[in-house]
Structure 1
């Protein structure tokens, strides 16, 4: 009865579930670096409900895949202010329900296994700890908007960095859980550099040994800052943190609200070619600070951390960003035009070589991005929101320029999305985009959308290139014109098949993903000779293939045909006209130099 009266008193005085002054306290303590273990405790102030739920996300922002992050949690417990155990039960794979005997502060704790560095979630060793809160820190839906502190019990000589503001050397503060989950923490021994551009403060953090040059990275990201300012004019952050991990077999990156985590092989920062890929990734993540963080599709605004978040506009978040990353490098003068043209040709070739582009639309791919099919199925029946979105973004940019006599381009759409939909809790819809496109161009863009976004209409690349004074130039005829339609895995001892194009010679020969090729006309195939052997095949000639499929020795016949998509260069036309030069200049940020005969 006493407990019930207290409960009613709290409700009568209009107190909310949580205090509005006392922050939630998160504590993180590495306990066994060699075995990647840590202890987490969280204290929620003044819980007044009889049952109290805590959860860990099942995915993390920036990666649209269910990761089931709670599999790293063990030894969960809950207790009250006096250290008395609170009864609890696990209600589903990522939720714990607590049963309180009386109101007051509640502390939960658990052990976390911290060894998912390649997934950019959490990692602990003797030199550092990297924390993406989605895989480390639980939250209560009732306290999601509550202020919080994060304290790290780490060695004194370590340095702690994050997009969150510091309250002490190893403590951060956040307005709510959403800010915490979008602000990864890097604490440990690392290189550090800070500088200011305009009114924005930048920090570069590099953990790991490699061939990087932090001063040169500063120079390059400074150029990216100025390119971003040209499009969006203002910045959604006052401070931005670049976190780099340099290590063995590391790749990938994740955007966050005012920071990014970029992972690279430790020796990818030299020579120039791999370094340009690092810089392209860096540009990609910075662009995401606007396109997906400052404005994003309605399906992921706000985030629901406990299930898939669906949208048929994911291609705008990822594909448009992929379109801009290399373009930023070109406009900034980091890419030479010839290097950019080579990248463009590679993207086009990958697009043309993907049979799935004739089957699945960008809208479908966006909605189904949570589905992870095997490589063979995806190759023939699906498209990537990154690659296909890149190609359609390029085509959309051209369409806008064509309809406005080059007065506007895709930059204007991005600027207006930022101005009109800069609210992380209210995303934009398809009709919002179409309305903005009509505002920019003065034309209804429904037909374009139905053809290229909701349909699978092929892009006329010759026309698209010519618009900018560019052209495809076939490479010299080569022996690889004989095509079988199989993508090979030639690492290790065997020649394996990654994917087979539908309706290709390899497809009709019965070859499929996972098969191991043994010989052609009785002569052994090996990783060392397979490329040469395939180049020696003759179009229209039948060859006997021995191979293993599902562990059984099999024989088939394959007849190469002409390659449907011959290799090509992209280069300027001989005599670009005035309009082509003007379009190229406004698009690429530099003059078009005609090719030399």
Structure 2
């Protein structure tokens, strides 16, 4: 069976993509047209169906009856044999790495958002064409040949975003035997030589770590926004990235973000696209695909993405330490680590998504997974006297998936760890991965072993002495309250706004108003004013880490930086 998709932008001003689907119905009877309930790379339910307008089904000139049978399914109860045409509009006004978007300047499509499929026909071939102005150029995960995009099945189609625009920057180069294209949509002062030089560094070392690469072509499809943004999504044949501000893409901080997200997503080529949990092989787009190994698929990738930038020479020592510090600081600031293990937090992304959950409920699979990966990496180097690393484990997992042609189970990852670490692997799993706990001592031990000196420093007076973390706005909002603080017992909660300290109006730096130990805090909560009298703790409550390399003291520091393959 073949399914044809035709995209048009006649109503681009209203952010509406016209989508027409044509197929030959082989058997008279009920046909279900299904829109995906989620997208790979974001493990939560989506509301793509809320963007559908003007849905119609026709056989020739005859309009067919249909009705919804669930949130994502349109049922045609009496569909005749022969050629069937489905048409609808998709509202696309959001730009991020996993969305679809249209205006007069571009057509940007993630098929998994907006393309229905016929239930039971996931193996159907796909042919897609675009009705766009002749000056529009094309870039995507699949090449356009003779005016059409072709995919072997729906699984590949849903993994093949594309963009068409008259203003597309396209840069092609070959590195490590792979053909690359960088396609940028946005107002960017593009620096071709600089980008290519730095991309080659992490591309080469990642391929070296796995010994080969499962793809021979790869596209970095970048939406450069005028405002601050950071997002990336992995695909088999490339990645979609949204980053901004566009005019600052090659300025120091934003360029560092570009390298970081690009290295992270490229590592996903192996870790997720070809090394995938068995429960997601193949993907089931109609419902949640539960698993408990987000710490592997996202956490290890977060660690390795930065590590490979550093090992390849595209990230400085200082910046690499800054990334480790960021993860450490997030870990100690989140008391969800005492409520939910990283395994259970992996499962619960399907429960409360990627936004803020209730205070201190769970941990980040990215942060905790990256820190556990760091501990494992150091442990393996220490056990093998610098002859093996976490790369050894990931490479063996990749080779297993490649050989068997299916996903892996958590026990496979643990088996490869045990072959190197023995009982130490079981201890780390039981105490750090499968348990809701703070493991700062384990982290500090790993820092010392690899040659990183650390100290704990105050964040500010409110956070460290009184246990109240705030945002950086002029009228600060509470974003965290330490459970061992007087503020916690007094009922200070996240979301409250601090209006005054000791009778003085707060505007900007709240610490500057703290002149005595006992504190009178004026708070706004749900349009009510509340006064709390607080005393500081004798202990430092919230704190942050300061890190520096002590090079000479770390037995495996040089091997770590060079890479152990």
One fold, TM greater than 0.5? yes
Q: Which position in structure 1 is the counterpart of 2:99?
A: 121
**Closer/same/farther in 2, CA of residues 232 and 478 from structure 1, 3 Å limit:** same
| Alignment-derived partner of residue 61 in structure 2 | 83
Q: Which residue of 2 aligns with 1:311?
A: 291
- Alpha-carbon distance between aligned partners in 1 of 2:301 and 2:54, rounded to the nearest angstrom: 41
Residue 470 of structure 2 corresponds to: 488
Counterpart mapping for 1:372-411 below 5 A:
372=352, 378-411=358-391
Counterpart of 1:181 (choices 149, 158, 170) is: 158
1:225 and 2:206 aligned: no
How far, CA to CA, are the matches of 2:459 and 2:105 in structure 1? 53
Are the equivalent residues in 2 in contact too, given 1:74–1:111 (CA < 8 A)?
A: yes
Structure 1 residues 282 and 537 mapped into 2: Cα distance closer, same or farther (>3 Å)? farther
- 2: CA distance, partners of 1:477 / 1:309: 39
Task: Select which of 443, 453, 474 maps to 1:461.
Answer: 443
Residue 378 of structure 1 and its aligned partner are, at CA, apart by: 4.6
Tell me: CA distance 1:49–1:302, structure 2 relative to 1, closer, same or farther (3 Å).
Answer: farther
Between 1:274-283 and 1:152-161, the stretch displaced more is: 274-283
Aligned position for 1:366? 346
Instruction: State whether structure 2 residue 212 is matched by structure 1 residue 239.
Output: no
1:517 aligns with 2:498: yes
Distance in 2 between the 1:315 and 1:106 partners? 44
State the alpha-carbon separation in 1 of the partners of residues 404 and 80 from structure 2.
36
Of structures 1 and 2, the one scoring higher in RCO (CA 8 A, sep 6+) is 2
Aligned to 2:275: 295
Q: 1:211/1:354 Cα in 2 relative to 1: closer, same or farther (>3 Å)?
A: farther
- The 8 Å contact of residues 295 and 424 in structure 1, kept in 2 or not, is answered as no
1:103/1:466 CA distance change after superposition, 3 Å: same
Does the C-alpha gap of structure 1 residues 441 and 522 become closer, same or farther in structure 2, counting only changes over 3 Å? closer
Alignment partner for residue 486 of structure 2, among 505, 508, 516?
Answer: 505
Give the equivalent residue in structure 1 for 2:528: 552
RMSD of aligned Cα (Å): 2.4
Structure 1 Cα separation of the partners of residues 296 and 194 of structure 2:
31
Cα separation, partners in 2 of 1:272 and 1:249, compared to 1, 3 Å: closer
Q: Could you tell me how far apart the structure 1 residues matched to 2:317 and 2:551 are?
A: 16
2:410 maps to: 430
**Separation (CA, whole Å) in 2 of partners of 1:246 and 1:98:** 41
CA contact (8 A) 2:277 2:409 kept: yes
C-alpha distance in 1 between matches for 2:552 and 2:480: 41
1:255 shift after superposition:
0.7
Supply the distance in 1 between the matched residues of 2:551 and 2:38 (Cα, whole angstroms).
51
Residue 328 of structure 1: how far off its partner (Å): 1.2
**Secondary structure in 2 matching 1:284:** helix
Q: Which runs of 5+ in 2 are unaligned?
A: none
2:327 pairs with one of 325, 344, 347: 347
In structure 2, distance between residues paired with 1:500 and 1:157: 55
Whichever of the two has the greater Rg, that structure is 1
- Contact kept, 8 Å, 1:206 with 1:243, in 2: the verdict is yes
Q: CA deviation at 1:391?
A: 0.6
CA–CA separation in structure 1 for the residues paired with 2:463 and 2:52: 54
**CA spacing shift, 1:476–1:103, aligned 2, 3 Å:** closer
Q: Distance in 1 between matches of 2:357 and 2:82?
A: 54
Q: Separation in 1 of the partners of 2:175 and 2:345?
A: 38
Structure 1 residue 144 displacement after superposition: 0.9
Flag the 1:256–1:559 CA change in 2: closer, same or farther, 3 A.
same
Out of 50, 71, 83, the residue aligned to residue 93 of structure 1 is: 71
Counterpart of 1:33 in structure 2 is: 12
Aligned residue among 250, 254, 263 for 1:274: 254
Q: Deviations over 1:95-130 (max 9, x none)?
A: 011133532222211111111213631101111111
Change (3 A) 1:74 1:373: closer
Aligned length: 558
Deviation at 1:574, TM superposition (A): 7.4
| Equivalent-residue separation in structure 2 for 1:183 and 1:165 (angstroms) | 10
Partners of 2:173 and 2:30 in 1: CA distance: 48
Do the aligned partners of 1:268 and 1:278 also contact (CA within 8 Å) in 2? no
Task: Quote the Cα distance in structure 2 between the aligned partners of 1:235 and 1:438.
Answer: 26
Describe the shift of the 1:567–1:494 C-alpha distance in structure 2 as closer, same or farther (beyond 3 A): closer
CA contact (8 A) 1:376 1:513 kept: no
The equivalent of 2:430 in structure 1 is 450
**What are the Cα deviations for residues 494-514 of structure 1, in whole angstroms up to 9, with x where unaligned?**
322223233323312311122
For residue 476 of structure 1, report the CA deviation from its aligned partner. 9.1
Aligned counterpart in structure 1 of residue 122 of structure 2, from 127, 135, 144:
144
5+ residue gaps in structure 1?
Answer: 1-17, 592-597
3-state secondary structure, aligned to 1:422: helix
Q: Aligned residue for 2:240?
A: 261
Q: Structure 2 length normalisation: TM-score?
A: 0.93
Query: Quick check: 2:183–2:222 contact (8 Å CA) kept in 1?
Result: yes
| 1:573 pairs with one of 533, 550, 563 | 550
Within 2, Cα distance between the matches of 1:555 and 1:32?
54
Normalised by the length of structure 1, the TM-score is 0.88
Distance 1:567 1:314, change over 3 A: closer
